[in-house]
Amino acid sequence: MNENETTIVKFTNISNFDFNGELGARYGGLDYFIPKGESLLVPQFLGEHLAKHLAQQIILKGDGDTSTSDLPLWSEEKIKEYTDKMVTFVGKDVKEQQKTEAELLSEQVNKLNSAIVEEDDEEDEDKIEVSVASNGEITYANKQEVISELDRKGIKYDPRQNKAQLEKLLTNI
């Protein structure tokens, strides 16, 4: 990850006018609005980008001395002079390391397959586990399964009865 992406800076509009998208406060298709004298916390790359464009606007609006200079309208030195006043270091942003494409793909495969397993589990909830003893008697895994089978067959029962008593209702049909 690029250090400019994890370093946080404070960008301050040092001009005597509001800085907006029409004046160059724009990056990646997004417009920013920074009123005069106000600050905004941003990643370093964005702060430097905004500062450069604001410095150019300050010079264009006549805050810079260009009357006797042989330099272009804005030189790197003049831009740097302004940007140093606008951008101040705040700290590092602790971000998760970006994952590789293989890791992202693996996570997606796991997520898709866990959804399939969950769907299978939901279908299994309707199934009742029964086992047939050597004498031919059907036994259920737990009381809830017995109650489910009684409900399915429409047999009335007292839910306070134990599993064995409920199973007898099923065999006495």
Residue with tokens 């790359």: 45
Contact indicator for 51, 78 with CB cutoff of 8 Å: no
pLDDT by residue (tens digit) across 8-41? Answer: 899 999 999 999 989 888 998 889 999 999 998 9
Structure tokens, 104? 């992202």
Torsional sign, CA 150, 151, 155, 156? positive
Average pLDDT score over residue span 146-150:
87
pLDDT interval class at 125 (50, 70, 90): low
Report the alpha-carbon distance of residue 11 to residue 86 in Å, rounded. 5
pLDDT by residue (tens digit) across 46-79? Answer: 999 999 999 999 988 875 555 545 555 667 888 8
Q: Does the pLDDT at position 127 exceed 80?
A: no
